[in-house]
Structure 1
Amino acid sequence: MQSTINKPLLVAAICCFLAALAHLGCIVFGGDWYRFFGAGEQMARMAEQGLWYPTIVTSVIVLVLLVWALYGLSGAGVIKPLPLTKIALTLISSIFLLRGIAFVGLMPTFPENSLTFWLVSSGICLFIGSLFAVGTWQQWSVLGRKNA
């Protein structure tokens, strides 16, 4: 473990945990939560009908966000290093940033999602992606100086 905590990666990890918790809330509380978070009327109705699709899709998102949070904590020096942490953090940063930027191209694929959903979720993805990117860059520059 590091002697200092990488704050951007710690905040990114906390954001991922909070996002996972919000998604878990959709599973637990159903259609109204799907609607509130802008997932679309179809997802909300399927959740209210007890169909498995919203639960499976949302559960996968929860699991991915939890794994990403653990990698953030690992890179921050809060927990023991996980395998391939540098590569994982680079990929996580890239995915969040790409999702934040590429929403215009994704919108036609999910026509029921509101414009508010796309703007807010893309802004959140850009924010978290930036935290991961800055934290990863800081971590690599610290490691580079130690190994030099």
Structure 2
Amino acid sequence: MLRLGGYLNILIAILHIVGLFWADKMFEVTGIADGMALAAQNIHPMYPYFITVVVAIFFFIFGIYGLSADGKIRKLPFLKPVIFLIAGIYLLRGIGELIFDMEMQQTNQILETSYSLIAVLIGLLFLIGGIRKWRK
């Protein structure tokens, strides 16, 4: 489970970087085009690219921690708490967004619900994988 969660995070990180070649379309598809356009206008034109790279780095780090917990790469520091922190971040994001979408009835509900369910799935992979690993 941790291995799958790790590989999914690395895939998400790669998709973020590759998506930068079509940034406007990627921002539109993910529903953040307006926010990124506003950030580019108010903060700096490169800000949307910068923040996307930062997010990709976090996904990559999450992926590396998943692989480390599964024993695929060397043991990283603070492995146990970080695995459960990653699980918590994903579950909070996924469940929180689902609750928010139900209350707000946003227009892009199917897309947002899909992203939320993916977040919950990855969070459960890390949570259940971590519990199984450290139950012994």
Amino acid at match of 2:115: S
In structure 2, what is the equivalent of residue 36 of structure 1?
29
Q: Does 1:67 align with 2:61?
A: yes
State the TM-score, normalized to the length of structure 1.
0.77
CA deviations over 1:51-77 (Å, ceiling 9, x no partner): 212112111110100001000000001
Q: Does 1:84 align with 2:78?
A: yes
In 2, Cα distance between equivalents of 1:125 and 1:64: 14
Amino acid at match of 2:15: A
Residue 37 of structure 1: how far off its partner (Å):
2.7
- Partner-residue secondary structure (3-state), 1:30: helix
Q: CA RMSD in A?
A: 2.3
In structure 2, what is the equivalent of residue 24 of structure 1?
17
1:20·1:65 contact (CA, 8 Å) conserved in 2?
A: yes
Where in structure 2 are there 5+ consecutive unaligned residues?
none
Between stretches 51-60 and 8-17, larger displacement belongs to: 51-60
CA deviations over 1:22-41 (Å, ceiling 9, x no partner): 21123222201221233234
2:66·2:126 contact (CA, 8 Å) conserved in 1?
A: yes
Q: Size of the alignment, in residue pairs?
A: 129
Where in structure 1 are there 5+ consecutive unaligned residues?
1-7
Residue 16 of structure 1: how far off its partner (Å):
0.3
In structure 2, what is the equivalent of residue 122 of structure 1?
116
Residue 81 of structure 1: how far off its partner (Å):
0.4
Identity of aligned residues (%): 29
Larger Rg, first or second structure (1 or 2) = 1
State the TM-score, normalized to the length of structure 2.
0.83
In 2, Cα distance between equivalents of 1:135 and 1:90: 10
Runs of 4+ in structure 1 deviating by more than 4 angstroms, as ranges, are 44-47, 104-107
The structure in which a higher percent of residues are helix is: 2
Cα gap change, 1:54 to 1:105, in 2 (>3 Å): farther
In structure 2, what is the equivalent of residue 14 of structure 1?
7
In structure 1, what is the equivalent of residue 128 of structure 2?
134
In 2, Cα distance between equivalents of 1:72 and 1:27: 25
1:39·1:113 contact (CA, 8 Å) conserved in 2?
A: no
In 1, Cα distance between equivalents of 2:20 and 2:94: 24
